[in-house]
Amino acid sequence: MHVIDGKKLADDIIAEVALDVKQLVELGKAAPGLAVVLVGEDPASAIYVRNKIKRAQQAGMKSIEKRLPVDCSQSELEAVVEELNQRHDVHGILVQLPLPKHLSEERIIRLIAPHKDVDGFHPENVGLLATGQASLIPCTPLGCLEMLKRELGDLSGKHAVIVGRSNIVGKPMANLLLQANCTITVVHSRTSNASSLARQADILVAAVGVPELIDETWVKPGAVVIDVGINAIERDSKRKLVGDVNYEKVAPYTRAITPVPGGVGPMTIACLMKNTLVAAQHTAH
């Protein structure tokens, strides 16, 4: 059993991106600019934003941070996004989700210019991914794919089971693995026999948001398990982060597994930098 070190892989990707950024700048182009918009003071979101800005700087990118109060109006937030859409020094725009309840995430996602949508959530980018065309791909599934390719090489013919069907992870993951010539099964809350379907997987991707749902009865011996879940739970009066996979029970059966934390999380941010570089390379400024 091999533990996939997401932090080390993410460091490798950031180093690769930094080299490409350096070459871009040497050609007289502007360094890629990533704008991060944070509404309110949610502590988890603030940590994510801080990590994204730190990684952008490590990759030699310019980072722009926009903070808005928790009670800002939809039109105030939209005005900030519109301004960033127009700026030539901004190649990627990321609005940190979730937004406060009174704001429409859907409207904001649609408002971001598709060529600056480094989260890959705009319907145009979703459509391009679904039809197998080049696009800005959601960062978490892209990070998972990167891990699988580095772990297994060619994924052709592998049976991949994805637990969860969210727009952010489950659906794009299915599209990416389909393009990598895997056979795909998506299981979700309405699936009957979810665990027996999961047991057929060469690749099992857990992205369902239920702490430690997946135990050894879900896993075929020798499978590669990618745990996207990150859930805060109380255990022994301590706050602990766990995945959607019961790591202790599942790990011994696997060929390779990602830990939580230190698995998929760092890869998501590394792939955000990769997307920002792609967005910059596609613009002439």
Q: Please say which residue of 113, 131, 152 terminates a domain.
A: 113
Q: What is the pLDDT of residues 188-203, one digit of tens each?
A: 999 999 999 999 999 9
Q: What is the pTM of this model?
A: 0.94
Active site residue 96: yes
248 in the same domain as 190: yes
109 in the same domain as 143: no
200 in the same domain as 238: yes
- Spot the catalytic one: 52, 62, 158, 171: 52
- Spot the catalytic one: 96, 116, 117, 244: 96
- Which pLDDT band, with edges at 50, 70 and 90, does 235 fall under? confident
203 in the same domain as 104: no
- Is residue 257, in this structure, part of any structural domain at all? yes
156 in the same domain as 66: no
165 in the same domain as 100: no
- Residue 84: which domain range? 30-113
232 in the same domain as 166: yes
Active site residue 200: no
Per-residue pLDDT, averaged over 245-259, amounts to 97
The CATH number given to whatever domain includes residue 44 is 3.40.50.10860
- Spot the catalytic one: 119, 202, 227, 244: 119
143 in the same domain as 41: no
- Is residue 188, in this structure, part of any structural domain at all? yes
Is 104 assigned to a binding site?
Answer: no
pLDDT above 70 covers a percentage of the chain that reads 99
Is 120 assigned to a binding site?
Answer: no
- Which pLDDT band, with edges at 50, 70 and 90, does 270 fall under? very high
* Res. 285: pLDDT tops 60: no
User: What is the structure's pLDDT at 135?
Assistant: 83
Q: What is the pLDDT of residues 147-201, one digit of tens each?
A: 999 999 999 999 999 999 999 999 999 999 999 999 999 999 999 999 999 999 9
The SS3 call for residue 63 is: strand
Is 166 assigned to a binding site?
Answer: yes
Q: How far is CA 4 from CA 86, 132, 253, 256, 271, in A?
A: 40, 28, 15, 6, 16
163 in the same domain as 98: no
Domain count, the chain: 2
Q: How far is CA 30 from CA 15, 51, 71, 90, 192, in A?
A: 19, 23, 35, 10, 52
Active site residue 117: no
Q: Are 205 and 228 in contact (CB under 8 A)?
A: yes
Is 190 assigned to a binding site?
Answer: no
- Is residue 273, in this structure, part of any structural domain at all? no
User: What is the structure's pLDDT at 152?
Assistant: 96
